[in-house]
């Protein structure tokens, strides 16, 4: 009996030791494994820091003004490369009070900067004041006006001078001239004409015999040129403040069967005018790189929005285009289309 009891007691003690060892192993495994797992798990990556986002409002005198199309191309090129910048486009439809109202609303809606091609560069003080009061940077584009933080465009006075020098040089610095103007009083009309006249005045054999406004428009230029051709007043040279007017004048010569009889000089560097240069129907085009103006205006607006500053004037250089050098300019436009 005692012997059986001893054997039973021995068995119980052995089983208890075995079970205790197994329990100890499981208990030890849990915290140790958790510690090792935590060491093996990679620390989470820091979130990417996104660029600051900006809203730039572009207010233009009129979307029907053909050069605006190419300035917009430049802005859109910039936008495509900067996803953190949103551009909003406003059409004033040649209504100065409407442009002011649009810009005031844009300021209230949180614009970081305004790019403005004004309806009337001589009447921009209310726009300037609205931006100053709200501490919003104001970038002038193409038409220069007082009070903007930076103007981006071409020097209209210099463009007029170069235009006259080029076409009069071709004519031997003599001839009877017709002057075709944009909207009277606008900055580019005034300064381009001033530049042209400063050159004409240097040559006693040059005389302005006809002048009139076609308001930057092709159809009005065509009608005005037709009237001049029917007036009986002879002239050898037409100097137009813009390409659209030079194109209209060329069309009038075609309709009258007088293609090539009158030399034409215009300003902008639009594709249609460049093709007419190639055909010999326009002799001089002043190329002002409208796409670059738009792109630089966008870049400048974003700089100001981010707290940087720029020079007060950023001029895009003029280039004189004639039949001898027109092809690279045509090729450049074709490359953009592709």
- Per-residue pLDDT tens over the stretch 250-280: 999 999 999 999 999 999 999 999 999 999 9
CA–CA dist 122, 100 (Å, integer) = 13
Determine contact, residues 262/236, Cβ cutoff 8 Å: yes
Which residue has better confidence, 175 or 334? Answer: 175
Predicted pLDDT at 4: 40
- Judge whether residue 13 has pLDDT over 60: no
What are the structural domains of the chain?
A: 54-154+290-307 (3.40.50.2300), 156-287 (3.40.50.2300)
CA–CA dist 72, 57 (Å, integer) = 12
- Judge whether residue 199 has pLDDT over 50: yes
**Per this entry, what is the length of the chain?**
338
pLDDT in tens, 303-322: 999 999 999 999 999 999 99
Predicted pLDDT at 335: 79
Region 159-185: mean pLDDT is: 97
**Secondary structure class of 197 (helix, strand, coil):** helix
Query: pTM of the entire structure?
Result: 0.80
Helical axes 218-231 vs 243-255, angle rounded to 10°: 50
Max CA distance (Å), the chain: 151
For residue 333, what pLDDT band results from cuts at 50, 70 and 90?
A: confident
DSSP letters along 80-141, please?
HT-TTEEEEEEE-TT-HHHHHHHHHHHHHTT-SEEEEE-S-TTS-HHHHHHHHHTT--EEEE
């Amino acid at each position: 009996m005692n012997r059986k009891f001893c054997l039973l007691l021995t068995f119980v003690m052995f089983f208890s030791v075995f079970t205790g060892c197994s329990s100890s192993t499981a208990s030890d495994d849990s915290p140790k494994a958790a510690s090792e797992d935590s060491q093996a798990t990679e620390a989470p990556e820091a979130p990417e820091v996104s660029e600051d986002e900006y809203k730039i409002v572009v207010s233009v005198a009129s979307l029907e003004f053909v050069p605006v199309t190419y300035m917009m191309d430049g802005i859109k090129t910039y936008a495509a490369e900067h996803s953190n910048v949103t551009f909003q486009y406003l059409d004033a439809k040649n209504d100065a009070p409407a442009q002011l109202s649009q810009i005031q609303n844009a300021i209230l809606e949180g614009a970081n900067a305004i790019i403005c091609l004004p309806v009337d560069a001589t009447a921009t003080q209310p726009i300037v004041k609205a931006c100053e009061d709200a501490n919003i940077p104001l970038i002038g584009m193409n038409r220069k006006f007082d009070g903007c933080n930076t103007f981006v465009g071409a020097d209209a006075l210099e463009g007029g001078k170069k235009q006259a020098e080029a076409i009069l040089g071709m004519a031997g610095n003599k001839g009877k001239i017709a002057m075709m103007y944009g909207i009277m009083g606008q900055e580019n009309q005034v300064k381009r004409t001033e530049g042209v006249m400063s050159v004409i005045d240097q040559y006693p054999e040059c005389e302005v015999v006809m002048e009139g406004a076609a308001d930057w428009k092709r159809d009005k230029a065509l009608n005005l040129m037709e009237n001049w051709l029917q007036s009986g007043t002879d002239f050898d040279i037409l100097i137009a403040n813009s390409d659209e007017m030079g194109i209209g004048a060329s069309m009038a010569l075609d309709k009258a069967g007088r293609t090539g009889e009158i030399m034409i000089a215009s300003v902008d560097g639009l594709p249609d005018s460049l093709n007419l240069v190639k055909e010999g129907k326009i002799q001089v085009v002043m190329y002002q790189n409208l796409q670059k103006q738009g792109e630089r205006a966008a870049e400048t607006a974003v700089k100001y929005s981010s707290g940087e500053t720029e020079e007060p004037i950023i001029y895009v250089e003029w280039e004189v285009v004639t039949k001898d050098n027109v092809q690279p300019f045509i090729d450049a436009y074709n490359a953009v289309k592709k």
